[in-house]
Amino acid sequence: MATATGQPITKHGSGAFSNLWSSIKQRYSARYITRRIIGTILVYITTLIIIFIIPHLMPGNIAYQFVSRLLAINPTISPAKALSIVEAEYGLNHPLYVQFEIYLKNVLLTFPPNFGNSFEFISTPAMRIVMRALPFTLLLIVISQVIAWGSSIYLGVKLALRKNHLSDKVAVPSLYMLYSIPIFWLALIFILIFTIDLHLISSSISVSAGAPFGKVMYALAFPIAIVVVSTVPNHVLIIRSATVDFLKSDFVMALKAQGLKSSTFTLKLMKNALLPSITQFFMQFGYLIGGIYVIESLFSLPGMGTVIITAAIEYDYPVLEAGLFVTSVVMIVSNLIADLLYPLLDPRVSYM
Amino acid sequence: MTEAELKGKNFLKNKFRGIGAENSMWRILFKDGYFRIGAGIVFFFFVLAIVSFFYLPYNPVASTGPLWSPPSYKHWFGTTGSGQDLFSQWMVGSQPTLLVAILSAAVASVVGVAVGISAGYFRRLDEPMMRMADVFLILPVLPLLIVIAAFIRPTNFTAALIIGVFSWPWMARSVRSAAVSIKKSPYIEVSRMNGVPNSSIMKSIFMHTLPIVLANAIFSATGGILFLAYMDYLGVGPVTSYAWGTTLFYAQQANALFVGAWWWIVPSGISIAILATGFSLLGYSMENAYRGVSSR
């Protein structure tokens, strides 16, 4: 890339880094970067507001749930007194704008952001429960998406090259079908076939957050396979349509005229198809991450999905808010990184 | 206006209504195999939903047969762990699924068209409105819907509302880009110079974006089906109705998997997938037909 942008390749130790830096400076203007970062902050604030609004959509307030839970454990306490104590602890006895102020102070000014203590695991901060689960989810997402992405680039380009052949005409609707299958149902069918009928794979391998890596991977193999099968169709369809558009360009005509070997030609197509599909991928990340959460909860893996879905069923509101907050932050940060990396990966794009 | 411009003016209208032009959008569509498959699937489930209002073999929630019975002549899809007839449940399940799909698509269309056309037409609104759409695109939609549903415990209508509220940005984006390109065409410029009021120009722009709106609404309906299935399966969906996802939720609760009761799981899940595929094929072929016509 350094030679492509006309920068001399430096010999000293930090050469790669300084090259990267100079190409960054060439590709972006300061104005673009500030605009992009202001946009990110805007999204962050909107997310915070949405997370604040959601619990207030409910009739009554979340303290009633907590008190009924306490009453179930210990019926002798006085509900009115417990209610007032809980409301004071979560700041629910203030007017709405004061609550918003307290909320902003808790989330913006403290680190890690404070969403209060969990209802289920009493006296554990909700944020700690969520943060403990985060690495596991990230591992699952990264591994499954690297595998899915790699295989779909190959498949997508192959399908695009065979456009209007019978195999493409059959493949497209069947990929739509596979894409439309909810991931949890696919998992149920996989368990039914491979675990219950064929006795091939165990579907419940217990694993905890601090387990050694090999054991974690062993437990993750089956869920990862399911996530890969269910996300490949989406990637393939995106890459196929990007390549079909790309095949119409003059550029490809020139490539063909060069008389390249077909494998080299395909490789070049793959490289080109990769880039436009990145943006598309991050747009559908919100749906994908939800599916991965459901899979985690189905296999009882100690990830964010299990935490959030258990909290949703158990009415554990602080954990729900914290989980949603962390999910949004992961999405926002990965979107920002993808946006900023894009011109570095694709020499044709620059944000000046 | 020259002959060509006049033709251009009536062209989109004719294409949409299928009058005059030999290759109108509908004609192209009916030749398309994907469209026919998709239309067939959607039509089938609509008929199923309508029939289920008037006729059901059994009461879908009452225990009417042996427990855990596999498919038989009496119970076509078998029975649940408490003896409910799964065929009746499957028939009833099509109602809320289609209702939520259509309502959420309608909500997404109304918001998306309003935002898209005003952003495409008024240059001053363009930047803020599209930034707002970007904000909604980045949000983790599915986790957000699950959490909101956990808080508000929705009915079918509120579920459709929240699904629609989070799926309008796609619509807004494509409507905006179509509106921008239509706004540049000569006949709009002529009518602006003649002092035609903004509202009627916007109405005509809207009429011309209608095929795009329709295709996008169909894609939103697909999303609505899947989102509803996720919510129902996790047990946070509408509690007042019995959708396919709800059947799967109860199957999971009763450990149907470990009993080996595949008949409890397969029909509902496969129907979700088939209906969603039907809608996506419709949307896909409409988008293609629109592109084919407009690039001619």
Q: What is the CA radius of gyration of chain A?
A: 25
User: A93: which DSSP letter?
Assistant: T
> Once rounded to an integer, what is the mean pLDDT over residues B263-292?
88
Assigned fold of A127-314: MetI-like fold (1.10.3720)
Residue B4 has pLDDT above 60, yes or no: no
Residue B6 has pLDDT above 60, yes or no: no
Tokens of A152: 């779909």
Interface probe for B, chosen from A35, A45, A185, A195 (most Cβ of B below 10 Å), is A185
Residues of A within 8 A of B265 (CB-CB) are 185, 188-189, 192
| Parts of chain A with a pLDDT under 70 | 1-16, 59-60, 203, 209-210, 347-352
Structure confidence at residue B54 as a pLDDT band (50, 70, 90): very high
Residues of A within 8 A of B134 (CB-CB) are 39, 43
CA distances from A120 to A73, A132, A310 (A): 12, 16, 10
Tokens of A196: 């219950």
Residue A268 to residue A278: CA distance in whole angstroms: 17
Query: Which of A58, A285, A328 faces B151 most closely, judged by CB atoms?
Result: A58
Question: Which pLDDT value is given to residue B20?
Answer: 45
Domain regions of chain A by residue span: 127-314
Q: Which residues of A250-271 are buried (b: 16+ CB within 10 A; e: fewer)?
A: eebeebeeeeeeeeebeebbbe
Looking up tokens 């901060």, which residue turns up? Answer: A125
Q: What is the DSSP string of A208-259?
A: -TT--HHHHHHHHHHHHHHHHHHHHHHHHHHHHHHHHHHHTSHHHHHHHHTT
B110 touches chain A (CB under 8 A): no
Amino acid at A140: L
Per-residue pLDDT reduced to its tens digit, B220-272 = 999 999 999 999 998 888 888 889 999 999 998 888 888 888 899 999 999 99
Interface probe for B, chosen from A46, A57, A62, A181 (most Cβ of B below 10 Å), is A181
Is A177 within 8 Å of B273 when comparing Cβ atoms?
yes
User: B260: which DSSP letter?
Assistant: T
List B residues 176-215 in contact with A (Cβ-Cβ < 8 A).
none
Tokens of A73: 């454990």
In terms of residues, how long is chain B? 296
Q: Are B171 and B213 in contact (CB under 8 A)?
A: yes
Interface probe for B, chosen from A35, A64, A168, A188 (most Cβ of B below 10 Å), is A188
Is B141 within 8 Å of A179 when comparing Cβ atoms?
no
Residues of B within 8 A of A283 (CB-CB) are 137
Shortest CA gap B150–chain A (Å): 5
Contacts of A214 (CB under 8 A, 6+ apart): none
ipTM (interface pTM): 0.84
Question: Which pLDDT value is given to residue A3?
Answer: 40
Q: Where are the alpha helices (DSSP H) in chain A?
A: 15-27, 30-56, 62-73, 79-89, 96-104, 126-161, 166-180, 183-190, 213-247, 250-257, 262-283, 285-298, 304-314, 317-345
Residue B207 to residue B16: CA distance in whole angstroms: 9
Query: Which of B148, B235, B277 faces A180 most closely, judged by CB atoms?
Result: B277
Is A188 within 8 Å of B269 when comparing Cβ atoms?
yes
Is B134 within 8 Å of A39 when comparing Cβ atoms?
yes
Question: Which pLDDT value is given to residue B98?
Answer: 94
Residues forming a β-bridge with A28: A351
Residue B93 has pLDDT above 80, yes or no: yes
Query: Which of B140, B226, B274 faces A289 most closely, judged by CB atoms?
Result: B140
Residue B121 to residue B182: CA distance in whole angstroms: 10
Contacts of A110 (CB under 8 A, 6+ apart): none
Ranges A16-20, B42-46, B200-204, B263-267: which has the least confidence: A16-20
Domain regions of chain B by residue span: 3-56+83-294
Assigned fold of B3-56+83-294: MetI-like fold (1.10.3720)
